[in-house]
Chains A and B, each alone.
Chain A
Amino acid sequence: MSRTISIEPVTRIEGHARITLQLAEGGEVEDAKFHLTQFRGFEKFCEGRPYREMPALTARTCGICPVSHLLASNKACDDLLAVTIPPTAEKLRRVMNLAQLLQSHALSFFHLSSPDLLLGWDSDPAQRNIFGVMRADPQLAKSGIRLRQIGQSIIETLGGKKIHPTWVVPGGVTEALPEEKRDSMLAMMPEALRIAKDTYAFYKTLVPKFKDEASHFGTMPTMFLSLVSPEGDLEHYDGFLRIKDANGRIVEDRVPPHDYQRIIGEAVEDYSYMKFPYYKPQGYPQGIYRVGPLARLNNADACGTPFADVALAEFRTLQEEAGPITSSFHYHYARLVEIIFAIESIQRLLKDPHILDNRVRARARGNRDEGIGVSEAPRGTLMHHYKIDDHGLITWVDLIIATGHNNLAMNKSIKQVADAYVNGKDVKEGMLNRVEAVIRCYDPCLSCASHAFGQMPMVIDIQDTSGQVIRRIARD
């Protein structure tokens, strides 16, 4: 008799989701699916609104990455205005984007994934949480809090508040950076870099323990999509789209963000509210790719900052085979490299002699009827695409969210982990935690991707072929 195991909600991720594992009569995993069960519909209810409202509206998509939406949305609005924003405004926006990446990666690594990494996947689930981490390694927990605080402080210093700042506007930013604010942000950077480097050094000692997980946590050939700078280096704010295949061959390069529809298609499935983007030339679902820290490091020729480049070189030794790092388990490692990069880059940008310039905003009316903004959110490439009418009212919206790009890969990853670890005849909590943990590697933000809403207890249902629940395991 075949059965279905349902894990709901998936814990220690942003938002709510369900995983189902379809078991065959022998107990082996036949199929695995990652479901987004809630719908919010931002693309639709933005229609009819003035385009200048879009940054504020779309930032409300999420409480964890509003800055990312704010930037991508304003870039789409810059495009509608047909302006090039002042260079200082671009640098200031970059600082805010990197601060967002810093605080978001810190949350993912230190608070969401460290319970697994530090305490083990099979440890007592009652202890396998942030309090368990605090007991096992209080300094690690303090470091996570401090890095988040530094990232959030920079966002607040620039934007006036930590969540939903309004300082970034179409055409640039509303205010130049005062010297004392620049100095206060710069003063935090040495401490931030010390914490980041110490954490990176510590994590390197842990990695060899996870050989088995690194072999089964989404270790698969896929393509990788990200922005890269015009020089081919690591990029989070602008630049061009690049796609590498599993062998490291560049299959798309220097693709202007405006051409994203040429290479990215979007499919839907009846079991999830999250879209399934794919690489168009290969079709669906063969056109599977990954985005985010792993993809960015795989795609970049270099980071372009001293310590991050050293870390990037070490990252590339994580597997013996040449080519891109194929295990999604190494998203964690990539996040730490990017934290170092973010701190070094913020430092560099704030020391730029023009960072205090007063020209920070280009003013114009809507000069195009279509605008596209692409940037790198912490979780991957974020695309905002708007169309407006003659009155500047939104007529059509498409948002391709970082987490959505990874949808095919996440589904494939849970199947791989379930194949490796789940024994359908004797389901143990640690097995299911590994299934959840592979999703945590991607650090999905489901509020963004599915616009999830609500709160549910975790329930694992084992059903027979007729859908009858024959066993239920509940987690509060």
Chain B
Amino acid sequence: MKALIIGYGSPIRGDDAIGPLAADRLDRLLEQGALPDWIEVQSRHILTAELVEDLRRSDLAIFLDAAADTPPGEVRCRPLQADATALSTMAHFHDPRELLAWCEALYGKAPSAWLISAGGAEWDYSNCQLSHTASAAMERMIDQVMERLGLAAPMPAVSLGNLR
């Protein structure tokens, strides 16, 4: 079993950073030995093509992202299917469903995948802070990740103030 967690979003667009910040937190837990070593965590600005190489070696993929079309603070978890039509018109970033489709097309299989998203409240440029709403949502995102991983053990608390 290998699980890959990818948090993605811009670190300078307010709540858009919730995905990578949640990934950073999970990565610290991994370093502390609070998560099993079959988990790999990546924090990304955007999803790029070469991630296919990591996805194809995974059984489970969990994407963490901010959502602009969800009420602020609401956390949603939904399965992702490979979708070759989810093409980005920009070449340097991709939809997670497109990357899964790359995996299927090139390697004949893709990991089972989930998107855990949190509705953001503030998206200002050059804003390197999460809103209180998003900060609170991060806890629930982490809970969802643990549930998907089948891990129920409580985790050590990490101060939200030290996240960035």
Contact = CB atoms under 8 A, between A and B. Distances in A.
A16 B93 CA distance: 14
Contacts of B90: 14-15, 455
B105 A148 contact: no
Contact of B91 (A12, A134, A162): A12
A271 to B, nearest CB: 22
B91 A64 contact: yes
Contact of B50 (A64, A131, A152, A455): A152
A48 interface: no
A438 to B, nearest CB: 17
Interface string B65-85: 000000000000000000010
B45 A111 contact: no
A43 B90 CA distance: 24
B98 to A, nearest CB: 9
B35 interface: no
Q: State which size class the interface on B falls in.
A: 20 to 34
Contacts of B48: 148, 152, 162-163
B87 to A, nearest CB: 7
A145 B93 contact: no
A164 B92 CA distance: 14
Contacts of B50: 103, 145-146, 148-149, 152
A264 interface: no
Interface in B90-112: 90-93, 101-102, 105-106
B89 A14 contact: no
Interface centre among B87, B91, B102, B106 (most CB of A within 10 A): B91
A21 B16 CA distance: 39
Interface string A113-156: 00000000000000001110011001001101110110010000
Contact of A134 (B46, B87, B106): B106
A388 interface: no
Nearest to A107: B91
A149 B45 CA distance: 15
A138 B106 contact: yes
**B interface secondary structure, majority:** loop
Given A138-B105, A148-B50, A163-B46, A129 B87 contact: yes
B53 interface: yes
A103 B48 CA distance: 11
Interface in B38-52: 44-46, 48-50, 52
Given A15-B90, A112-B91, A455-B89, A63 B106 contact: no
B105 A14 contact: no
B12 interface: yes
A11 interface: yes
Contacts of B49: 107, 111, 144-145, 148
B53 A145 contact: yes
Contacts of A149: 50, 53
Nearest to B42: A162
Contacts of A13: 91
Contacts of A15: 90
A15 B89 CA distance: 8
Given A134-B106, A145-B52, A63 B89 contact: no
B92 A131 contact: no
B52 A107 contact: no
A60 interface: yes
B36 to A, nearest CB: 24
Contact of A131 (B44, B84, B93): B84
B50 to A, nearest CB: 4
A135 B53 contact: no
A440 to B, nearest CB: 10
Interface string A59-77: 0100110000000000000
Contacts of B44: 162-163
Contact of B53 (A16, A146, A162): A146
A134 B92 contact: no
Contacts of A141: 102, 105-106
Nearest to A163: B45
A343 to B, nearest CB: 16
Contacts of B52: 145
Given A131-B105, A134-B106, A148-B50, A9 B89 contact: yes
B105 A63 contact: no
A308 B101 CA distance: 35
Nearest to B52: A145
Given A131-B105, A134-B106, A146-B53, A60 B45 contact: no
Contact of A11 (B46, B89, B102): B89
A253 B91 CA distance: 36
A103 B91 CA distance: 12
Contacts of B12: 60
B93 A134 contact: no
A407 B93 CA distance: 25
A229 B91 CA distance: 32
A135 B93 contact: no
Interface centre among B46, B48, B52, B84 (most CB of A within 10 A): B48
A148 B48 CA distance: 9
Nearest to A130: B102
A14 B106 contact: no
Q: Which 4 A-B pairs have the closest CB atoms?
A: A149-B50, A64-B92, A163-B45, A134-B105
Given A107-B91, A144-B49, A163-B48, 8 more contacts: A9-B89, A14-B91, A60-B12, A134-B102, A138-B106, A145-B102, A152-B48, A163-B45
24 contacts: A9-B89, A11-B89, A15-B90, A64-B91, A107-B91, A107-B92, A111-B91, A129-B87, A131-B84, A131-B101, A134-B105, A134-B106, A135-B105, A142-B106, A145-B53, A146-B50, A146-B53, A148-B50, A149-B50, A149-B53, A161-B45, A163-B44, A163-B46, A455-B90
